Amino acid sequence: MALEQEKMMKKMCHVDGFIAALDQSGGSTPKALKLYGINDDEYEVGEESMFDQVHKMRTRIMTSPKFNGDRILGTILFEDTMNREIEGAPTAEYLWKKKEIVPFLKVDKGLEPEKDGVQLMKPISKLNEMCDAAVDNGVFGTKMRSVINFADLSGIKQIVEQQFDFGKKIMAKGLIPILEPEVNIKSPEKAECEAMLRAELMENLKLLRNDQKLMFKLTLPDVDDLYETLVTHPNVVRVVALSGGYTRAEADDLLARQHGVVASFSRALTEGLRDDLTPEEFDTMLDTSIGEIFDASKASPVTKELHTHKA
């Protein structure tokens, strides 16, 4: 393992903090921009002008003095963001060398229509090329999302199998994949979905070699500490939680009850941030958000011994 990758691994395993998800892609970007105060008449959806606006927003967040490695472990980037620069440096390099924040890359290309109660990922036709570019940019790992809507065992098995299949290809490139089989928080069978998902994740972990390491990004569960066996598993670097549509207060409350799980929030992180805030107002609001999420992430820590074999 290269020296910088080893330093990133130690940070991910041992340091308190959370992962900031700044990886909204083409489909979710207009909503994120609207919440930020940028109207859709200021850019063309899906065109360069839209990505310019979202990069400007992300740059403001990442260059804030409040956004640093003291409380933030890592940041998940959209491919376009990775390929751009911040203050004259490639984004991933800026995050690690300037902020000491571990960079991740979103690699999925969206969701298939629902079938068997789930939405699988669309094919990732250029996965090898994306992984090679991530390695060249000094990225630590990847993230890919699929969605579970109903407690259909056949569908959940397909979701987990697909996540692990892609994950193994990513691990072979020397990257740490974050597998994100999200359970829809509005599912009428949420608890049943989560129980089935945990069982399938544990079964697939049994098939990994000792040197194959990954992470999970999971919906905050109805049952506290449901994912404790994943948190302590030797192949799992970290388990992180998505906010999934909960408000920041709701997500923080649920997160604080999950031992060893830390946040990987997107909407909950940027809640209340707007383009028209003064620099002082912006930094104050971001500082509050980061502080609340950080406190929730370390409210129920896993004992450090559980991570010592992973560094």
180: annotated active-site residue: yes
Q: What's the longest Cα–Cα distance across the chain?
A: 53
Distance CA 252, CA 294 (A): 9
Triad 163, 211, 104: Cα angle to 5°: 50
Q: Closest Cα to residue 126, out of 79, 82, 91, 177?
A: 79
Helix (H) or strand (E) holding 144, with range, is strand 141-148
Task: State the Cα angle at 137 between 135 and 141, rounded to 5°.
Answer: 50
* Residue from 11, 217, 271, 292 carrying the catalytic annotation: 217
- Residues 190 and 183 sit within 8 Å (Cβ to Cβ): yes
DSSP string over 192-211: HHHHHHHHHHHHHHTTS-TT
**For the CA atoms of 85, 87, 89, 93, what is the dihedral angle to 10 degrees?**
-90
Rounded to whole angstroms, the Cα distance separating 101 from 18 reads: 10
Which residue is catalytic, options 11, 99, 143, 180? Answer: 180
* Segments in the chain forming alpha helices (H): 3-14, 29-36, 48-63, 79-82, 91-93, 99, 127-136, 153-172, 190-205, 228-231, 248-255, 267-270, 279-297
DSSP label of 150:
S
Minimal CA–CA distance to 20: which of 66, 70, 65, 77? Answer: 77
CA distance linking residue 260 with residue 275, whole number of Å: 34
- Residues annotated as catalytic are 180, 217
